[in-house]
Amino acid sequence: MSESSASALPPGRSGRQPFSHPENLSLDSSCFSSPPVNFLQELPSYRSIARKRTTIPTREKQSGTLLKPTDSYSSQLEGGITENLNSQSIRKYALNISEKRRLRNIQETQMKYLSEWDQWKRYSSKSWKRFIGKAREMTTHLELWRDDIRSIEGKFGTGIQSYFSFLRFLVLLNLVIFLIIFMLVLLPILLTKYNITNSTFVLIPSKDTDVQCTVYPISSSGLIYFYSYIIDLLSGTGFLEETCLFYGHYTIDGVKFQNFTYDLPLAYLLSTIAYLALSLLWIVKRSVEGFKINLIRSEEHFQSYCNKIFAGWDFCITNRSMADLKHSSLRYELRADLEEERIRQKIAERTSEETIRIYSLRLLLNCIVLAVLAACFYAIYRATIFSQEHMKKEIDKMVFGENLLILYLPSIVITLANFITPMIFAKIIHYEDYSPGFEIRLTILRCVFMRLATICVLVFTLGSKITSCDNYSCELCGYNQKLYPCWETQVGQEMYKLMIFDLIIILAVTLFVDFPRKLLVTYCSSWKLVQCWGQQEFAIPDNVLGIVYGQTICWIGAFFSPLLPAIATLKLIIIFYVKEISLLYTCRPSPRQFRASNSNFFFLLVLLIGLCLAIIPLTISMARLIMFYFIALAGAHKRVVVQLREQLSLESRDKRYLIQKLTEAQRDMKNRLDWQ
């Protein structure tokens, strides 16, 4: 500012005006020589000083700071920032470089007037925070698939990136579950089996249970065909049935170390409770963050429009085609919002007759949905019953293909149901006259229920088959021990087949559907049929439902097949690379994109539903173990009571016999004395 312009100012008015260049605001006392304006009084730092001034004595009197106490706003603002320097870094303040340097000099000057103990605490706190920051920076480089996921985020946005991050989370979750089971159950057995430690197996004789309820005969056959090993590998029978993959292998009651005895049955039960609790806590912890973001975004509709227009862009996108896709996605969201607003107005203008008509139509369509679900559940029930009956009777008489068809019949029916029902639900939802957003949520909810309920139907069908004895008595063991010597292994084999078949379907669809479809779209685009078919979309909800379905199988099957989490980990790793290749080379992103925060919360919510559904059959199964044990225990106690009664009866007879003999001896003795 020139001298002439400065002299033209009124007397008593400073030459620097704070509102002409707000970016040049300084904390120097010369800037605040005038009374503070209303704008500066709205600063959070000023409000914080105003609150602290009434309750906390000034730090200048306590620590001997060099700042002189004044009544100006500059000293209050500066004092407030310097007070917070102990807990926060200077870089977190929205100040220019010169102000940050001046505050750093003030901080270093204040350090000289502190005691050695306070100085050591500040230096150690800084060093510890610096170490934590460096450690976190180093751990980010050790993240699994870090570069791949960042590349996907840059090319396709945060919505698809959230799917792959969710898949990585499931890989880590299954790995931790496997480590829990391995440490609690498998490790003590392996240490004893291979003589690594000085320990021995403990076999407790079954005094309280019947011997027939604890015997698990392994089926053995004479001549084995070459394809039998393939069948065993795909179905979990044969040589796999004798390994530690299934429940029936764990017949050891404990491991005796030098100072204690390790209770394996209790460890087996605790490992199941541990991985379920860990999964629940981990999912809830991750979902809370997404819930907070969704709660913040539950704003008015006008604010929603403003957020989409002014803050809806994804700055992680670096690809031109993805930028165009993001533009179309924002246009789609705005059209969807306008459509929802139109439907809300339409609902408000409905007459009573129209309301009755639409609700009657929705009731009819929901009855159709329930009928479709019931038909699918009944088909799964009949397929499971048919598979179990023929697998026990005619498995040795079948050829290779027929054998696999019988073994995988429930899995095939479940896969077909999961493939057909979403298309039916998508057609039905168009006639229910909902808003576009609610249509998507309701369709996804129905598909989630369908996928997860099919697993529960399969488990309960197996349970009903196991407990149905027909002409045989179940009083001895509580289940059909003749057909199912170890019913837990049978359930584990079904979960194993579901997981293997799910992986086979994913690989087959990618290799034999997506790749040929991409080739047709690329080289035969002039054909009308190919134009109608189009390129495969990478639909995030469908892919998420697929991996949540597999994770639910893992949670249920881990109790009956302890190594299933390890198989699930390998399966998810394969799925990651298959989906990445499919996304890059065969699929196009869906125009209905998800925000990362909405996607993460939706994924975790669906996963939490799957966990809750998995806990139900596991709780029932564990309660039946417990129930069978008490049934056998009650039967054993009953037999002991009968034996004790017989023993008491024999003892009473012995006493009468002894008394009779004693009386006869006394009579003989008396007669002898009388003769003498």
Reply yes or no on whether the pLDDT at 39 is more than 60: no
Q: Rounded CA gap, 532 and 551, in Å? A: 34
CA 188 – CA 181 distance, rounded (Å): 11
The predicted-structure confidence for 597-618, as pLDDT tens digits, reads as follows 556 777 788 888 888 888 887 8
Helices (H), ranges, 468-486:
none
Which pLDDT value is given to residue 73?
Answer: 42
Read off the amino acid at residue 372. V
Cβ proximity of 271 and 185 under 8 Å: yes
Q: Contact at 8 Å (CB) between 420 and 450?
A: no
pLDDT in tens, 436-493: 667 777 887 888 888 888 888 888 888 777 777 766 556 666 667 777 777 888 888 8
Q: Let me know the angle formed at the C-alpha of 33 by 28 and 38, rounded to the nearest 5 degrees.
A: 100
Whole-angstrom distance, CA of residue 358 vs CA of residue 348: 14
* Contact between 163 and 583 (Cβ < 8 Å): no
Mean pLDDT of 87-111: 71
Quickly state the pLDDT bin for 205 (edges 50, 70, 90): low
User: Is residue 200 helix, strand or coil?
Assistant: strand
- pLDDT for res 441: 74
Query: Which of the given ranges, 159-163, 164-168, 514-518, 570-574, has the highest pLDDT on average?
Result: 570-574
Mean pLDDT of 362-371: 92
Neighbours of 238 (CB within 10 A): 17
pTM confidence score: 0.71
Please report, rounded to a whole number, the percentage of residues in the chain having pLDDT higher than 90: 11
The stretch 280-303 carries a mean pLDDT of 70
Return the minimum-mean-pLDDT range out of 90-99, 132-141, 245-254, 410-419: 90-99
Residue 218 has a pLDDT of 58
**Over residues 389-403, mean pLDDT:** 62
pLDDT reading at 309 higher than 50: yes
Encode pLDDT of 143-162 as tens digits.
Answer: 888 888 878 877 776 678 88
pLDDT digits (tens, 9 = 90+) for 165-194: 889 999 999 999 999 999 999 998 888 888
Q: Of 50-54, 63-67, 106-110, 519-523, where does the model show the most confidence?
A: 519-523
Two tokens, residue 234: 């795909």
pLDDT at 219: 55
pLDDT-based confidence at 410, cuts 50/70/90? confident
SS3 162: helix
CA separation for the pair 492, 642 (Å, rounded): 38
Q: How much is the pLDDT for 163?
A: 86
Name the residue with higher pLDDT: 75 or 672.
Answer: 672
Position of tokens 């149905």?
468
Return the SS3 of 471: coil
Distance of alpha carbon 546 from alpha carbon 557, whole angstroms: 17
Q: What is the pLDDT of residue 399?
A: 60
Quote the tokens at residue 208: 């309280």
Q: Is the pLDDT of residue 27 over 50?
A: no
The b-or-e profile of 566-599 (16+ CB within 10 A means b, else e) is bbbbebbbebbebbbebbeebbbbbebbbbbbbb
Statement: residue 85 has pLDDT above 80: no
Higher pLDDT, 339 or 671: 671
pLDDT tens-digit map of 527-542: 777 777 777 778 777 8
Say what the pLDDT of residue 74 is. Answer: 46
* pLDDT of 437: 65
Element holding 649 (H helix, E strand): helix 596-675
Distance CA 414, CA 402 (A): 18
Q: Using the predicted structure, report yes or no on whether residue 322 has a pLDDT greater than 80.
A: no
How far CA 353 is from CA of 344, 357, 360, 434, in Å, comes to: 17, 6, 11, 18
* Average of per-residue pLDDT across 328-350: 76
Surface-to-core class of residue 603, CB atoms within 10 Å of its CB (0-12 exposed, 13-18 middle, 19+ buried): buried
Q: Using the predicted structure, report yes or no on whether residue 47 has a pLDDT greater than 60.
A: no
User: Picking from 276-285, 333-342, 559-568, 667-676, which range would have the lowest pLDDT averaged per residue?
Assistant: 333-342
The one-letter amino acid code at 442 reads L
Alpha helices in 510-595 (DSSP H): 515-523, 528-533, 540-560, 564-585
H or E segment and range at residue 201: strand 200-202
- Of the candidates 442, 444, 437, 454, the one whose C-alpha atom is nearest the C-alpha of residue 362 is 442
pLDDT(77) > 60: no
pLDDT of residue 18: 38
Report the C-alpha gap between 356 and 137 in whole angstroms. 60
Average pLDDT of the chain, as a whole number: 75
pLDDT for 278: 93
User: What pLDDT does residue 136 have?
Assistant: 78
pLDDT over 90 at 307, yes or no: no
- 113-137: average pLDDT: 79
The DSSP H or E segment spanning 202 is strand 200-202
Name the nearest CA neighbour of 467 among 458, 478, 476: 478
3-class SS of residue 663: helix
Residue 303 has pLDDT above 50, yes or no: yes
What six digits make up the tokens of 394?
């005619």
Predicted pLDDT at 170 = 93
**pLDDT the model gives residue 408:** 82
Of 4-18, 205-219, 545-559, least confident by mean pLDDT is 4-18
What distance in Å separates the CA atoms of residue 548 and residue 607, rounded to the nearest whole number?
6
